[in-house]
Amino acid sequence: MSVKIKNKQAIDKMRTAGLLLASIFEDVESLVKEGISTLSIDTWITEQLLKKGLISQSKGYHGYQHVSCISVNDVVVHGVPSNNVLLQKGDIVKVDVCAAWEGYCADMARCFIVGKKTDERTAHIIAVAQQALDLGIAQAVVGNRLFDISAAIQNCVEKQGYGIVRDFAGHGIGKKMHEEPDVPNFGDFGTGMRLKSGMTFAIEPMITQGSYEVQIDNDGWTARTKDASLAVHVEDTVLITDNGPEILTRPSK
Ligand code: MF3
Ligand code: CO
C-alpha cells in the first residue's frame, strides 16, 4: 500500500480546495427547500464550482453525470440528482461534493432537513453522525493507527443504537478523489498503519436507524438501506499535522 505524504504545495492546494468547497456549502442549506428538485440543486452547485474555479471529481467518474450526490431519507450515499426527486417537508437530505483546485481535491458532505424542524428521533441520528465524524477526526493524529479512526466512529455510533454501513468507506484523498488507504467506519483500536504528518483522508461515517445493510438501485448508483430506514452521512477532508488534525473543509476552525 502506498499512502502519499503531501508536500507543502499539495497541502496548500488542498487547503484552497477545502476553503472554496466549504464556502459553497455555506449557501447550500438555503437551497434545500420544499418543492425544489435535487437536480436543480446540482445545477446550482455546477455554477458555483465554475465561479470558484473548482473542477468536479464526480462528473465523468465511472460514467456518473453530476457534480454532486444528493441522497434523501433512506438513500445513504450516491443519490443521483433528478428532476423527479422533489424535496418534501421533513426530508433528510445529504449533499456530497468532491472537487479539485489546481489538481488537488477536497471531499465534503453535509446533512440538511427540509423545513428545518424535525422530530427528536431524526435530530438525534443527525447529531450522532456529526459526533462520530468529530470523534473519528480527533483520532487522526501522528502516531495513532488508521483503524483508531474507524473504531472511534463505530464505537460512538453503535453505543447509541445505530448501524454502521459496511459497504462504503472513507478514503485517502489528494490528486485523486480516492487514494489509498480505505478508511472504514468500523474496526479495532490499536490496529492499522501508523498515521503520519502530511497524510490526507476523507472521513465519512454513514449510519442507519435500522440494519446497516444497503442495496443499489437499478441506476447502478443510488445506495439505500435494505429496510428503508433513515440514513445519515457527513464527510470532511482532514490533514494530519504535527499539531493535530486540520479539517480542510471547515477552514474557519
Ligand atoms: N464524494 C463521494 C465520496 O465520498 C464520491 C461520490 S462521487 C461518485 O467518495 F461519482 F462516486 F458518485
Ligand atoms: Co468521500
Q: Map grid coordinates 482532514 to a residue.
A: 238
Q: Are strands 231-233 and 206-208 parallel, antiparallel or unpaired?
A: antiparallel
Question: What pLDDT is attached to residue 181?
Answer: 98
252 within some domain: no
Span from the CA of 76 to the centroid of ligand 1 (angstroms): 12
Q: Is the CB of 78 under 6 A from ligand 1?
A: yes
Q: Is the CB of 44 under 6 A from ligand 1?
A: no
Span from the CA of 168 to the centroid of ligand 2 (angstroms): 9
Query: What letter represents residue 125's amino acid?
Result: I
Ligand at minimal distance from the CA of 96 is 1
Q: Map grid coordinates 465519512 to a residue.
A: 204
2 within some domain: no
Q: Report which of 167, 131, 169, 114 is spatially closest to residue 147, judged by C-alpha positions.
A: 169
| Rounded-to-integer distance, Cα 39 and Cα 204, Å | 23
Question: What pLDDT is attached to residue 253?
Answer: 56
218 within some domain: yes
Q: Is the CB of 15 under 6 A from ligand 1?
A: no
Q: What residues are paired with 215 via a beta bridge?
A: 224
The CATH code of the domain that includes 141 is: 3.90.230.10
Nearest CA to ligand 1 atom 4: 107
155 within some domain: yes
Span from the CA of 91 to the centroid of ligand 2 (angstroms): 22
Q: Is the CB of 202 under 6 A from ligand 1?
A: yes
| Rounded-to-integer distance, Cα 160 and Cα 155, Å | 9
Q: Map grid coordinates 448501524 to a residue.
A: 163
Could you give the count of Cα atoms lying within 13 Å of 76 in the half-sphere of its Cβ?
Answer: 30
Which residues constitute the domain of residue 50?
8-247
Span from the CA of 61 to the centroid of ligand 1 (angstroms): 8
Per-residue pLDDT of the chain (253 residues; tens, 9 = 90+): 789 999 999 999 999 999 999 999 999 999 999 999 999 999 999 999 999 999 999 999 999 999 999 999 999 999 999 999 999 999 999 999 999 999 999 999 999 999 977 889 999 999 999 999 999 999 999 999 999 999 999 999 999 999 999 999 999 999 999 999 999 999 999 999 999 999 999 999 999 999 999 999 999 999 999 999 999 999 999 999 999 999 999 997 5
Residues with CB under 5 A from ligand 2 (ion): 107, 202
pTM for the model: 0.98
| Rounded-to-integer distance, Cα 65 and Cα 8, Å | 33
Residue 97 CA: nearest ligand 1 atom is 1
Q: Which residues have CB under 8 Å from 1's CB, separation 6+? A: 180, 181, 193
* Bond prior to 181 in cis (omega within 30° of 0): yes
Element spanning 160, H or E:
none
Question: What pLDDT is attached to residue 117?
Answer: 76
184 within some domain: yes
163 within some domain: yes
Q: Please count the structural domains in the chain.
A: 1
253 within some domain: no
Question: What pLDDT is attached to residue 226?
Answer: 98
1 within some domain: no
